[in-house]
Each structure stands twice: as structure tokens, then as C-alpha cells.
Amino acid sequence: MLKQCKLCGEPASVRVPYARLSLCPKHFTEYVERHVRNTIKRYKLIKSGDRVVLAISGGKDSLALLHILNNLRGEVGFELSALNIDLGIRKDDYSLKAVQISEKYCRELGVELAKVDMKRDFGFTIDEVFSSNHVRRPICSSCGVIKRYVTNKVAVELGANSLATGHNLDDESAVLLSNYVKADIDLLVRSGPMLPSRGERMVSRIKPLYETSEKETTLYNFFKGIQHLEQKCPYASGASTLRLKEVVNALEEEWVGSKIALVRSFNKKIKPILAEHYSKNSKDIDLCEACGYPTSTKICSFCRLKKSVSKNC
């Protein structure tokens, strides 16, 4: 049952079970910001003087993170800019709305926004990938290739140290569980709150919401009046991810703090052992012969995808 805010005595609106805290809206939003600050410190994600580019989609997590990092940048001493990709998804004006909402909040907060338009800057869109018959991989897998490539390229061009994304505790614990079950060592080694750069033209990727749950970002936006894009991408199926999240949330209900325990124990005890094994067996990183960005094959997957779309459109 909700009682009084532990910090000010006003009526509490939120219960944070794993921290055993009941909080009013003001102290809850401050708690979330402090929690993200502690995650940044715990995993050494950002240091003073860093240039951080945050990829924003207009969704709840990336917009919450935009506000949180904007509040923390003075205290930690880093530069912050944002990046939005217009993927060219026309159904229900999805991409148009995502771009508009990203522009609105960057303008309001005074955060510089780098805008990428897939059609203008790379010659093709997600809609074209989807309608191109011969591209057989699932659309979200191609979209992942595009987003990883474009965000890295823009962050490199902007001279950033790191690229931040809005992956939250629910995403990360669910994926971790799935990779454990499949014993996918490659994916396990590449998961975690930070993926350091592995060489030239590759920035580190960081996840400051690594220990912040979906419920917390949703409530943070609600109390701060942040209107994120509620609409789902028309290509999202998400059934298996949703199911996995239900599993980790059921675990959390039975055993409070299990999602955080899962990601922390992985990073502290399991990942170092896997990383040592992987460093002996991993492929070398080279530069793509077509675009000059990192790849472990001759031509990177982005360039192969682009070529395949242009052939089949």
C-alpha cells in the first residue's frame, strides 16, 4: 500500500519495491535521475569531458534518457547531442511523427540534433527494404543493421567518444535470459552496459538505462509531462520479446530485484570469463572495402544490404 513519501512526507504516488521506497512524483523523478547517475558511475559509462551522442527514436525510453542526460551533463561534465534517423516508414506517418517529436524535445532542451534522412543520405528507406522481394531476412533485423551502422557513422563524424541508446533493464534482462537459454556466447559477450570501441572508426556504445526499468521510464515521462510517441512501428511484431519480458517480470514479482541481480551478476562474474575466451577466438575487425567502416567481412552488412535493395527495388 502507498503511504507517505519517504523523503518529504507528502502523499506517495509510486512504490519502488526493490529500493523499498514510497515516493511522491518530485522525489520519484529525482530518484530515477540518481539511479541513472549511479549506473553511469558503476559501469564507468561516461567521464568528464566526454562527447556523447544519444540516438533518439521519439519513444519513451530515448526521450526519458534525453531529459535525464540533459539534467546530468553539467554535474558529470560531458557534452550531449542527439541523433534521429528518419527511417522512411510511411504507414500512419510513423517516421514523420518520430522526427517531429524528437525535434520538439531537442529544441525545448537546447540539445543539438543531428538528423539523418535515410532516403536523402543513403538512397533507400525501411519501406524499400521491406518491399524489396529478395531481401529475405526479417525486417527488424535489417533495420538493426541500418541503425547500428548509421548511428556509429554519424557519431564518428561528430567526433563523439560514445553513442548512448535507450535500452532499458527490461530489454536487457529479457535478452540476457534468452541468450543464456540458447547459450549464444557471441551475443552474450557483446551484451552489457558498454561495448567498447574495437578500433578505428568505431565509437563505444553505452546504455545508461541498463538498470532502469520500463515502468520507471514510463512513470518518469508521465510525471515530467513528456509526451513520447505512443504509436508502435507498423513493422513491430515483438511477440517473442514481449513474452520474454513477461517471463522476467514474473520472476521479478516472485523475487524482488531479480532483474537487476540478473544483469549485475552477468557483468560481474560471467562476462569477464566469456570475454577472455572470446578474445582468443574472435575475428579481426577490418575496414569495409566499399565504405571504409568497421566490419569482419570484406564488405560490411550495411553495404551488402544497400546493394541488395537497389538491385531489387
The three-state (H, E, C) secondary structure of 212-229, written as one string: CCHHHHHHHHHHHCCCCC
Rg of the chain over all Cα atoms, to the nearest angstrom: 20
126-158 burial string, b = 16+ CB within 10 Å, else e? bbbbbebeebeeebeebbebbbbbbbbbbbbeb
* Among positions 78, 210, 220, 235, the unique one binding ligand Q46 when judged by CB under 6 A: 235
User: Binding mask 265-284 vs ligand Q46 (x if CB under 6 A, - otherwise)?
Assistant: --------------------
Q: How far is the CB of 202 from Zn ion (least distance, A)?
A: 13
Q: Which is nearer to Zn ion, 47 or 298 (CB)?
A: 298
**Cβ atoms within 10 Å, residue 312:** 13
300 binds, among ligand Q46, Zn ion, none (CB under 5 to 8 A by kind): Zn ion
Q: Which is nearer to Zn ion, 145 or 290 (CB)?
A: 290
Q: How far is the CB of 118 from ligand Q46 (least distance, A)?
A: 11
Q: Are strands 194-195 and 204-206 parallel, antiparallel or unpaired?
A: antiparallel
Q: How far is the CB of 249 from ligand Q46 (least distance, A)?
A: 20
* Among positions 19, 185, 187, 236, the unique one binding ligand Q46 when judged by CB under 6 A: 236
User: Binding mask 31-60 vs ligand Q46 (x if CB under 6 A, - otherwise)?
Assistant: ------------------------------
Q: Which is nearer to ligand Q46, 47 or 137 (CB)?
A: 137
Residues across the chain: 313
Find residue 295's DSSP bridge partners: 286
Q: How far is the CB of 22 from ligand Q46 (least distance, A)?
A: 33
Q: Which is nearer to ligand Q46, 59 or 193 (CB)?
A: 59
| Cell 519517504, located at residue | 6
Is 139 among the residues that bind ligand Q46 (CB under 6 A)? yes
Q: Which is nearer to ligand Q46, 62 or 213 (CB)?
A: 62
| Cell 566526454, located at residue | 50
Q: How far is the CB of 299 from Zn ion (least distance, A)?
A: 6
Contacting residues toward Zn ion, per CB under 5 A: 5, 7-8, 24, 27, 288, 290-291, 300, 303
Q: Which is nearer to ligand Q46, 196 or 234 (CB)?
A: 234
Amino acid identity of residue 161, one-letter, is N
SS3 30: helix
| Cell 553495404, located at residue | 303
* Among positions 118, 126, 163, 244, the unique one binding ligand Q46 when judged by CB under 6 A: 126
Q: Which of 53, 68, 86 is nearest to 233 (CA)?
A: 86
The answer to whether the beta carbons of residues 146 and 126 sit under 8 Å apart is: yes
Q: Which is nearer to ligand Q46, 148 or 201 (CB)?
A: 148
The answer to whether the beta carbons of residues 202 and 152 sit under 8 Å apart is: yes
Q: Which of 219, 226, 234, 240 is nearest to 104 (CA)?
A: 226
Interface positions with ligand Q46 (CB under 6 A): 126, 139-140, 143-144, 233, 235-236
